[in-house]
């Protein structure tokens, strides 16, 4: 029997399967007709790197949802899976009832997608660029022309309609990208980083357009890492971190969850040092200087009366004191600060465990060698 083991093993061909892997379908009762986009257990792995981890997502019709997170946290991959432009490794998605994996053409016909840093054919005019994609979208010649003119006018691009796109500014390209999306008259609009690279004025204009679309009842999914903009237009926000959806809810919800009961106050004083006069107030958590005479106070309850009292008693003058709602930026900063310290702790723990593991491995391989060295002797003996 030993001779059998001496034969070389047959070749093992490693086949990379992207297709052919059986992906789950939703149960009928899981599907909600009021939802424009639904996904469950959606996962995408590139080799060993997991880009999106078991994502559950639902967007109701007419809702504006923001995907938030730092670069590389899986927002674009999620969008590409919803569009059927990349295949998920596991899970299912339905967009307006269609399966993007199985029937991507039906999804793409009804969904307008603007990729981040959208590009155009520079040697063609704005109209020609839109005509090309409108033809690919299957619009007939008569309605195409009228739609393009109408949309260009709406986005204030009609004066440059016959100019080559090569001469366009970043903001104009971005608006042209949105124009292309609108020519299709989509039920859902997906915008990937629509305001990145725009100057504040252009970004504000762009957000105003999105708000107008929202009023028309179009479902919008937009990704961004610029929070104050998302805050302005989104009904609901999904916070991504390293391929995982870590928080979900309205901006208010998320704020309450991350910040807890912490409240923030803006304080402006003259003639005294708040560090000295406010230190004894119960409930005060943090005092930080923002500028000359300007401070923010964090506390676990409303201590405005105590602050005013403290300042006047300390001989200073109170110039302003207001309750400030924490912005999503504060939440964001706080949350990722929290995650980073957690990661650091985990990394420290892993490294010690790894060392243990390596030591164990060394020992076992040493043992193996010993047994190997012993084996031939055994075979020699009858």
Partner 1 sequence: MKHGDTTITLQREGSPFKGLWVVTVKEMADHMGSIRIRLLFALIGLAAVSAIYSAVQQIRSVVGEDPFVLLHVFTVSQDPLPSFVAFLSFLIPLGAIALGFDAINSEYNRRTLSRVLAQPIYRDAFLMGKFLAGFLTLALTLVVLWLLVIGLALFVLGVPPSAEEIGRSFMFLIAALFYAGVWLTIAMLFSVVFRQPATSALAALGVWLLFAIFWNMLAGLIGQIPSNQMAQLMSQLWFSRISPNTLFAEAMVALLDPTTRSLGPILYSQLEGAMLGTALPFGQSVLLVWPQFTGLIAEVILLFTGTYIIFQRQEIRA
The answer to the question of residue 26 lying near partner 1 (CB under 8 A) is yes
Vertex 329, ends 302 and 72: CA angle to 5°? Answer: 145
Sequence-separated (6 or more) residues with CB below 8 Å from residue 312: 318
Q: Which stretch binds partner 1 (CB under 8 A): 4-12, 13-21, 211-219, 283-291?
A: 13-21
CA dist 148 and 161 (Å) reads: 9
The answer to the question of residue 99 lying near partner 1 (CB under 8 A) is yes
| Residue 297, beta-bridge partner list | 265, 287
Between 42 and 227, name the residue whose CB sits nearer to partner 1: 42
Between 24 and 271, name the residue whose CB sits nearer to partner 1: 24
* SS3 state at 16: coil
Vertex 221, ends 219 and 223: CA angle to 5°? Answer: 160
As measured in angstroms, the least distance from the Cβ of 49 to partner 1 is 12
Q: Which stretch binds partner 1 (CB under 8 A): 21-29, 222-230, 300-308, 324-332?
A: 21-29
Q: Which stretch binds partner 1 (CB under 8 A): 19-27, 268-276, 332-340, 358-366?
A: 19-27
**CA separation, residue 3 to residues 11, 234, 258, 375 (Å):** 19, 70, 65, 14
CA dist 144 and 366 (Å) reads: 74
Q: Tokens 């400030």 identify what position? A: 324
Region label for 30, one of left (φ > 0), alpha (ψ between -120 and 50) or beta (otherwise): alpha
As measured in angstroms, the least distance from the Cβ of 108 to partner 1 is 4
As measured in angstroms, the least distance from the Cβ of 154 to partner 1 is 19
- Binding mask of the shown chain, residues 161 to 200, with x at each position contacting partner 1 by CB under 8 A: ----------------x--x--------------------
The answer to the question of residue 45 lying near partner 1 (CB under 8 A) is no
CA dist 356 and 359 (Å) reads: 5
The answer to the question of residue 357 lying near partner 1 (CB under 8 A) is no
Strand 219-224 to 49-60 pairing: unpaired
Structure tokens at 10: 């047959």
Q: Tokens 């990722």 identify what position? A: 336
CA dist 305 and 36 (Å) reads: 48
Q: DSSP per residue over 38-101, as a string?
A: EEEEEEEEETTEEEEEEEEEEEETT-EEEEE-STTSSHHHHHHHHHTSS--SEEEEEETTB-TT
Interface with partner 1 (CB under 8 A), residue from 50, 53, 61, 137: 137
Interface with partner 1 (CB under 8 A), residue from 31, 34, 122, 346: 122
The answer to the question of residue 132 lying near partner 1 (CB under 8 A) is yes
Query: Total residues at the site for partner 1 (CB under 8 A)?
Result: 48
Between 138 and 361, name the residue whose CB sits nearer to partner 1: 138
The answer to the question of residue 113 lying near partner 1 (CB under 8 A) is yes
Interface with partner 1 (CB under 8 A), residue from 41, 97, 171, 293: 41
CA dist 114 and 222 (Å) reads: 10
Q: Which stretch binds partner 1 (CB under 8 A): 128-136, 213-221, 238-246, 321-329?
A: 128-136
Q: Which stretch binds partner 1 (CB under 8 A): 84-92, 220-228, 236-244, 346-354?
A: 84-92
Residues forming the site for partner 1 (CB under 8 A): 18-20, 22-27, 40-41, 54, 76-77, 80, 83, 85-86, 92, 99, 101-106, 108-109, 111-115, 117-123, 132-133, 135-138, 177, 180
């Amino acid at each position: 029997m030993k001779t059998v083991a001496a034969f070389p093993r047959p070749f093992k061909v490693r086949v990379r399967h992207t297709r052919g892997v059986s992906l789950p379908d939703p149960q009928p009762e899981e599907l909600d007709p009021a939802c424009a986009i639904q996904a469950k257990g959606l996962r995408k792995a590139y080799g060993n790197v997991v880009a999106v981890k078991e994502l559950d997502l639902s967007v109701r019709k007419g809702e504006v949802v923001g995907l938030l997170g730092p670069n590389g946290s899986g927002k674009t991959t999620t969008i590409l899976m919803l569009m059927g432009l990349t295949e998920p490794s596991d899970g299912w998605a339905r967009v307006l009832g269609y399966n993007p994996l199985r029937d991507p053409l039906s999804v793409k016909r009804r969904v307008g997608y603007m990729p981040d840093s959208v590009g155009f054919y520079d040697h063609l005019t704005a109209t020609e660029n839109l005509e090309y994609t409108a033809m690919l979208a299957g619009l007939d010649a008569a309605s195409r022309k009228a739609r393009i003119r109408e949309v260009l006018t709406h986005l204030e691009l009609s004066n440059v309609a016959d100019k080559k796109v090569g001469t366009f500014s970043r903001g104009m390209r971005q608006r042209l990208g949105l124009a292309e999306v609108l020519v299709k008259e989509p039920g859902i609009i997906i915008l990937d980083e629509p305001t990145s690279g725009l100057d504040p004025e252009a970004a504000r204009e762009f957000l105003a357009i999105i708000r107008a679309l929202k009023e028309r009842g179009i479902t919008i999914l937009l990704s961004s890492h610029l929070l104050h903009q998302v805050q302005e237009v989104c009904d609901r926000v999904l916070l991504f971190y390293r391929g995982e959806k870590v928080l979900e809810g309205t901006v208010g919800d998320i704020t309450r969850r991350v910040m807890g009961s912490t409240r923030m106050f803006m304080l402006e004083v003259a003639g005294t040092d708040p560090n000295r006069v406010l230190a004894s107030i119960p409930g005060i958590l943090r005092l930080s200087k923002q500028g000359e005479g300007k401070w923010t106070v964090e506390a676990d309850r409303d201590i405005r009366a105590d602050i005013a009292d403290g300042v006047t008693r300390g001989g200073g003058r109170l110039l302003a004191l207001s309750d400030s709602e924490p912005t999503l930026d504060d939440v964001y900063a706080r949350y990722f600060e929290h995650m980073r310290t957690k990661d650091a702790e985990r990394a420290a723990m892993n490294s010690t465990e790894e060392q243990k593991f390596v030591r164990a491995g060394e020992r076992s391989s040493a043992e193996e060698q010993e047994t190997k060295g012993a084996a031939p002797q055994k075979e020699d003996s009858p």
